[in-house]
Amino acid sequence: MQRVTAQTGDTDPLMALPDDLDSTRLPRHLAVIMDGNGRWAQQRRLPRVRGHQMGVQALKRLLQLCGHWGIPALTTYAFSTENWQRPDEEVSFLMALFEQVLKQELNELDQARVRLRFLGDLEALPPGLQEHIARATARTAHHNRVRLNVCTNYGGRHELVQVARRLAQDVRQGILEPDDINEARFANLLLTAGDPDPDLLIRTSGEFRISNFLLWQLAYAEIHITDVLWPDFDQAALATALRDFQRRQRRYGTVQPSPVGR
């Protein structure tokens, strides 16, 4: 895998890949459930919104590290379909925060050659935010140094139902025969189409569940759970997750061959 950098010409030695990690065995696609913003704030007796603000900084760090270390695709879980059930004030703050971040960070993302996509039911988002998303998506569409997918108003079950409906409509219209439906055709209709399935899922804050995230795509992903709360997720935490990943034997349901002579 070719090593890439987050910013053109940037060779910051502090961002170098740790010597004990194999650059040829890094994930092609990293998925992250960014959990623990609220608990981070509560532990410090701060408003929950402060945790979300610090969570944005953690995402910026991770994106930079993916660029420097050579991880070409990153998908993050920013706002689920269930998150609308949170207090109205918190939801309104999050919508405003998404818009603010897009305004402030778009130039840097463009210069860093990051392709930005938002995955989910975007029509339910505030119109102003939808406009910023459309502008950012169009402006960065031709980049490929790091591909960042931000799952916003996303639910894995909803995604699968939408694909099933699309295929059912094609069958009803005579475009497709039922026997023509296979895994490849199904996967090509997913929101992540064009990216390989994630090799590694990281969930912060110590929770052991995937919370309706990428239900199809995570079928064979390795899973790393860390007690680190998302705002504290840093270079050391990512390195720990990658070391864990590189210790795994990825068999995809097969049996690992025994060494010769045993």
R_g over Cα of the chain: 19
Range 231-253 average pLDDT: 93
Looking at 44-83, list the stretches that DSSP marks H as alpha helix, in order from N- to C-terminal side.
Answer: 48-69
State mean pLDDT over 112-135. 96
Catalytic residue among 20, 22, 35, 182: 35
Of the residues 12, 19, 83, 153, which is catalytic?
83
Residue 242 predicted with pLDDT over 50: yes
* Average pLDDT of the residues of the chain: 92
Residue 185, H or E segment: helix 183-187
35-77 tens-digit pLDDT = 999 999 999 999 999 999 999 999 999 999 999 999 999 999 9
Distance CA 45, CA 39 (A): 10
**98 exposure class (CB count in 10 Å sphere: 0-12, 13-18, 19+):** buried
Specify the pLDDT at position 49: 94
149 a catalytic residue? no
- 39 labelled ligand-binding: yes
Active site residue 83: yes
The length of the chain is 262
**243 in a labelled binding site:** no
Q: Is 84 annotated as a binding residue?
A: yes
pLDDT band at 251 (very low <50, low <70, confident <90, very high): confident
**Mean pLDDT of the 185-193 span:** 97
Selection from 144, 193, 146, 129 nearest residue 166 by Cα? 193
pTM comes to 0.90
Domains and CATH numbers, the chain: 26-154+197-247 (3.40.1180.10), 156-190 (no CATH)
Joined together, the tokens standing for residue 90 give: 């918190």
d(CA 83, CA 258): 47
Q: Is 210 annotated as a binding residue?
A: yes
